[in-house]
Amino acid sequence: MPVYEYYCAACRTRFEQLVRTAGAGEQAPCPECGQDAPRVFSTFATMRRGGDGAELASTARSCACTPATCGCR
């Protein structure tokens, strides 16, 4: 079961929700104000070893995208 991240523009709340059914999860009710909030791309970080043995960190960009539009580049 995936955990999706959502952002409510009405009250500026970012929250996560466990989605149990396939195909669901495009929008979720905000726990703060109850408005429908669209799903956004989550941020994540990865760790890998460089050629010299040093650990390098990489963080993905976060942006507010919906299935219809995406402003990330």
Query: Residue 73: pLDDT above 50?
Result: no
List residues bridging with 26 in a β-sheet. Answer: none
Q: Is the pTM of this model over 0.75?
A: no
Q: What is the pLDDT of residues 12-71, one digit of tens each?
A: 999 999 888 766 778 999 999 999 999 998 777 777 766 665 555 555 444 555 555 555
Query: Residue 9: pLDDT above 70?
Result: yes
Three state DSSP letters for the chain: CCEEEEEECCCCEEEEEECCCCCCCCEEECCCCCCEEEEECCCCEEEEECCCCCEEEEECCCCCCCCCCCCCC
Whether the CB-CB separation of 65 and 71 falls below 8 Å is answered with yes
